[in-house]
Structure 1
Amino acid sequence: MYKRFYKPLLCLLATFLLIQPFKAASQGNKLISDEAETVRTDAYEKQLENYLQHYLVDEYEARSAKAWNRDYSSPEALIRSVEPNRRRWEAVLSPPMLAKTGPLARKPYPLGDVQGEWIELPLGLLTAQAVLAFPAKASKQKPVPLIIVQHGIGSSPETSFSPGGYHEYAKGLLKAGFAVLVPMNLRSVERRNNIERYARLAGTSLPGIELVRVQHLLDVVLADPRVDAERVGMWGVSLGGMATMFWMPLEPRIKAGVVSGWFNERRNKMVIKDSRYSSFAPTEEHAFFNGWLTEFTDYDAVSMIAPRPLMIQHGKKDGIAHWPQLIEEYDKAKVHYQKLNMPEKIELTLHEGGHEAVVDDGVKFMARWLNTASAKK
């Protein structure tokens, strides 16, 4: 009797136990409510955010003090002393090995009243592309300095010859007697986000790739007898300012730089959201590079540029930074030059405008340092 009673009961229980996992899966895991799970996950996310913000911002000064061992006894000593940091910075950008796979192609490229050339250099599956233009006086007998003119994320090489925030600064340089090399880099946030994801998977970075493209162009362009290869500068606006800051530590042929609309209190810019300035998060994923804030906030990065002349340009109405914070960062950066007894080699142009280049100041700065013998030191 008991066996007849328990056997159906055991079958029913077995069926129930078999069905339950499928039922739970179909209805979602209700061992914890959605609300409770969200609260728990939000709390964990906040822990991670606090932990990483503390590391990147609060612990930065102590970490930087251990990472750098600068020797200011001479310019040459400083260059040698930051070499380990330079190698680590190179690892942040991880520029790839690219090789020239053909000759430079050139074609006329008029830009309004400027007659330039569009040049392309094959590098395997990639090409390095740029506008190249010379002032009328350039010749084999009278070679001229060359300025790498780097456009920002929302523009193109042609922009530097146009009105607007760039104020035709490539034209201003040509009128002052400089040749200009205006590389084409990838424009738009969406495109750079897309390519940077692939670059990270490949162990490189988009700024690293674009650096190598420009280096190969320099190899060819500096062989032109109209160019004085010892007098090369770089002037970038916005993301072109990033390129100037990023590349000068790794390209010693660049003897002077102007950074417009980029220099910043980098830890705040990248990590701390604030209504007083724009943040790259959450849309500009392309601007986050592995290891950048381990030891390379802007004032530290400048020590890999020194003793070469450097001008920072920033407008008080430029929302990329809260300008009083920028001044604090600049004051730390200029210490490197002060300790070398070369305070005149770094300048800050703080103006009342916005996200733009200040042409006259930048041209005069380049003329001062690239049209004199001191540029060759």
Structure 2
Amino acid sequence: MYITCLEKRLAVLTAAFLLITITHPVCAQDAKVLTEAEDEMRIDAYEQELEDYLTHYLVDEYDARAAMAWNRDYSSADALVRSVAPNRLRWEKEVIKPPHLQKTGPLLSKPYNLLGTDAEWLELPLGNIAARAVIAYPEGASKANPAPLVIALHGIGSGPETAFEDGKSYHAYAKALLDAGFAVMAPLNMRSIPRRNNIERLARLADVSLPGIELARLQHLLDVVLQDERIDADRVGAWGVSLGGMATLFWMPLEPRIKAGVVSAWFNHRINKMVVPDERYSSFAAGNEEHAFFSGWLTEFSDHDVVSLICPRPIQIQHGKKDNIAYWPQVVEEFERSKVHYERLELSNRIDLVLHEGSHEALVAEGVAFLKKWLDNDE
């Protein structure tokens, strides 16, 4: 537990307040003003009191709180989906908060040379904003031979083209998908920490979230793209790296058209990642990534709980032991809790952990094989 003796911490903080009060009694006849050092001591103590209070709620009370929030029925896959419907609604309305967008024009498409691959640049007007993506089709895709579609989701510092490039994190996994017979659509999402911080602050004021906006953009794109006769609308997958992995995990519960997913370099022991600093991994609690904090997230939605909103659809988790976004034994712990949802339905073959010796990256062969397995048949 993060706090093993909260009562002692509170006693120390109370003593600090009392020390200042006794030293400087406040009365009408003899009012005293605190020194700057004493004022800092008081407000430091108050900050620590609030941090301890919220950390205790988020960390120590999470399991008990989640146990009351979820009422899963494992009697069948359909029963599980129905039983988590209230949680799914809270995930949508209280955490992701997608806005209501409307199409305000036709999909615009133009040829796009994607590193030697013939592709199309798509733009769909949605009022004051637009959904944009690059899409490429495998050789031979047609009405008579429609291809499955994989949504390739990029992370911080990347763009739609990155998944096609042979870089250190992506290894051209989108190109490998094309070669394997998949169509690939890579949306343009917001890149860079400062830009995401800026937009997320404004989104909170509007009671939406940036992931929610980008989900709504993607859903409108899918409405149109899946009408293309070159694509099999019943065989859609998603594969995201880093923050694209976040998008995959966040959006699959709310987009049933995505039938299978791969999450690379994102899945985590979410409570520790967000709240508990530790030298064994990079904690969001110790950084400047405001964009990564969403209201209501840790009320009941640690990663293993979010997976239950995806189950029984297949999902593969990829994590490198040298990736400091997480301490890999904690990833294993969170995965084992996620796997329970599938085991209870006797569908454990639909969830997979690829734990490798690498770092912050996608494993191409394993991800392609997983998506081929689940999007090439009716299991």
RMSD: 0.9
Q: Which runs of 5+ in 2 are unaligned?
A: 1-30
Counterpart of 2:161 (choices 158, 163, 185) is: 158
Counterpart of 1:334 (choices 332, 336, 339) is: 339
The offset of 1:236, in angstroms, is: 0.3
Would you say 1:198 and 2:202 are equivalent positions? yes
Q: How many residues align?
A: 346
> Within 5 Å, which residues of 2 pair with 1:12-91?
31-91=33-93
Between the aligned partners of 2:292 and 2:115, the Cα distance in structure 1 is 33
The offset of 1:83, in angstroms, is: 0.2
Aligned AA for 2:276? I
Q: Which moved further from structure 2: 286-295 or 158-167?
A: 158-167
Between the aligned partners of 1:178 and 1:30, the Cα distance in structure 2 is 74
Which residue number in structure 1 is paired with residue 282 of structure 2? 278
Would you say 1:106 and 2:109 are equivalent positions? yes
User: Normalising by structure 2, what TM-score?
Assistant: 0.90
Which residue number in structure 2 is paired with residue 253 of structure 1? 257
Between the aligned partners of 2:247 and 2:115, the Cα distance in structure 1 is 26
The offset of 1:154, in angstroms, is: 1.4
The offset of 1:279, in angstroms, is: 1.6
Between the aligned partners of 1:337 and 1:362, the Cα distance in structure 2 is 19
Counterpart of 2:305 (choices 297, 300, 311) is: 300
Would you say 1:269 and 2:240 are equivalent positions? no
C-alpha distance after superposition, 1:345-368 (max 9, x if no partner): 000000000000000000000000
Q: Percent of aligned positions with the same letter in both sequences?
A: 65
**Secondary structure, in 3 states, of the residue corresponding to 1:304?**
helix
Aligned AA for 1:163? D
Would you say 1:221 and 2:225 are equivalent positions? yes
Which residue number in structure 1 is paired with residue 173 of structure 2? 169
Between the aligned partners of 1:43 and 1:67, the Cα distance in structure 2 is 33
Between the aligned partners of 1:113 and 1:314, the Cα distance in structure 2 is 30
Counterpart of 2:98 (choices 72, 95, 100) is: 95
Which residue number in structure 1 is paired with residue 361 of structure 2? 356
**Secondary structure, in 3 states, of the residue corresponding to 1:96?**
coil
Bigger CA radius of gyration: 1
Between the aligned partners of 1:353 and 1:30, the Cα distance in structure 2 is 61
Q: Which runs of 5+ in 1 are unaligned?
A: 1-28
Which residue number in structure 2 is paired with residue 140 of structure 1? 143
Which residue number in structure 2 is paired with residue 18 of structure 1? none
Which residue number in structure 2 is paired with residue 26 of structure 1? none
The offset of 1:113, in angstroms, is: 2.5
C-alpha distance after superposition, 1:174-200 (max 9, x if no partner): 000000110000000000000000000
Which residue number in structure 2 is paired with residue 5 of structure 1? none
Which residue number in structure 2 is paired with residue 236 of structure 1? 240
**Secondary structure, in 3 states, of the residue corresponding to 1:334?**
helix
List structure 1 segments (4+ residues) > 4 angstroms apart after TM superposition: none
C-alpha distance after superposition, 1:19-75 (max 9, x if no partner): xxxxxxxxxx97110000101111110111111111001000000100000000110
